[in-house]
């Protein structure tokens, strides 16, 4: 394409150091629809801004959920052209203190095959940087649906942090016989108050093997997502502001909107809702067979 002065659009973009999307967005004389990718580019940019760690597969899946018929290669091309790269990863501070004399439990999660929710809960702790201090976040996830079911944020790593997260999880879920709670060997998870509360609800206790952080991979993966998509994009003034923002991310973002490849590119709440419908259909079918 050439302009009235004989310059091609491509040459103008090179001279101005702008992308094709930026050129058409700023060119008031450009004819509507001249760039067939404009609407798609806009949709991709909005998704990339909301979920900075999304790569091509998740962005493609989200576009299709929004009604687009789009090829992953086309999405990848636009991501490269507009330099919409995933957020750069950072290193993390270790929050696990396994140098204690409290009882350490056998790993029960290592060979577990999950078929439903509330079979395995996984727990972990991470730090959050505020402007003038560090605070700590404890979370509990359902390993099958990846849903955050309990969490707590506080200035201290004392046992009450993990206990608050556990009590939230217990209040929101229907504990089933055989449910396993898995964590690292941190002193907070080995405390008498914590293990007593688990055992009082008939929950089996499991801990990672020594020097094996991969045993809790699902929770580790969640913590990275939290850091890349919420914490590193924020500048929390104080504990209250962090609590409000993280609650919003967990409940309205991660649980309800963020797509998970392990769930067929569905958010956890949708996955659980579909699973509940499937269970209901199976029960109804079984009831009909018994009534015949």
Higher-confidence residue: 92 or 224? Answer: 224
Residue 135 CB: number of other CB atoms within 10 A?
20
Mean of the per-residue pLDDT values of the chain: 82
Q: Please, is 259 exposed, middle or buried when counting C-beta atoms within 10 Å of its C-beta (0-12, 13-18, 19+)? A: buried
Instruction: Single out the residue of 103, 55, 50, 53 nearest to residue 248, CA to CA.
Output: 50
Tokens matching residue 60: 């493609």
First to last CA, the chain: 71
> Per-residue pLDDT tens for 179-200?
999 999 888 999 999 999 999 9
More confident residue, 59 or 98: 59
Confidence of residue 244 (pLDDT cuts 50, 70, 90): very high
Instruction: Return the pLDDT at 150.
Output: 98
pLDDT at 250 over 80: yes
Domains of the chain, each with CATH number or no CATH = 9-81 (no CATH), 120-272 (3.30.420.10)
pLDDT attached to residue 76? 82
φ and ψ of 168, to 5 deg: -65, -45
The helix or strand, by DSSP H or E, that contains position 149, with its residue range, turns out to be: strand 148-154
Chain centroid offset of residue 167 CA: 21
More confident residue, 72 or 85: 72
| pLDDT grade for 75, boundaries at 50, 70 and 90 | confident
Structure tokens that stand for 105 in this block: 């439990």
In this predicted model, which residue has the larger pLDDT, 119 or 60? 119
Between the alpha carbon of residue 276 and those of residues 147, 261, 267, the distances in Å are 14, 20, 14
């Amino acid at each position: 394409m050439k302009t009235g002065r004989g310059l091609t659009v491509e040459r103008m973009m090179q001279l101005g150091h702008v992308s094709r999307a930026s050129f058409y967005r700023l060119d008031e004389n450009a004819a509507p629809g001249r760039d067939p990718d404009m609407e798609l580019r806009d949709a991709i940019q909005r998704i990339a801004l909301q979920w900075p760690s999304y790569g091509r597969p998740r962005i493609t899946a989200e576009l299709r959920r929004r009604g687009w018929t789009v090829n992953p290669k086309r999405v990848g091309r636009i991501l490269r052209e507009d330099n919409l790269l995933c957020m750069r990863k950072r290193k993390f501070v270790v929050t696990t203190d396994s140098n204690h004399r409290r009882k350490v439990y056998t790993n029960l999660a290592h060979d577990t095959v999950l078929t439903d929710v509330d079979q395995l809960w996984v727990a972990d702790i991470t730090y959050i940087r505020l402007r003038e201090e560090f605070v700590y976040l404890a979370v509990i996830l359902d390993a099958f649906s990846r849903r955050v079911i309990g969490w707590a944020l506080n200035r201290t790593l004392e046992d009450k942090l993990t206990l608050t997260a556990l009590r939230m999880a217990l209040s929101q879920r229907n504990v089933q016989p055989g449910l396993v709670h898995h964590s690292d060997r941190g002193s907070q998870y080995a405390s008498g108050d914590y293990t007593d509360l688990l055992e009082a609800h008939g929950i089996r206790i499991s801990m990672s093997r020594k020097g094996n952080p991969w045993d809790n991979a699902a929770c580790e993966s969640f913590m990275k997502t939290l850091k890349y998509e919420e914490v590193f994009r924020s500048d929390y003034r104080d504990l209250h502001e962090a609590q409000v923002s993280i609650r919003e991310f967990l409940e309205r973002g991660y649980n309800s909107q963020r797509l998970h490849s392990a769930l067929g590119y569905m958010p956890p709440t949708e996955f659980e809702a579909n699973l509940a419908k499937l269970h209901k259909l199976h029960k109804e079918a079984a009831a009909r067979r018994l009534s015949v």
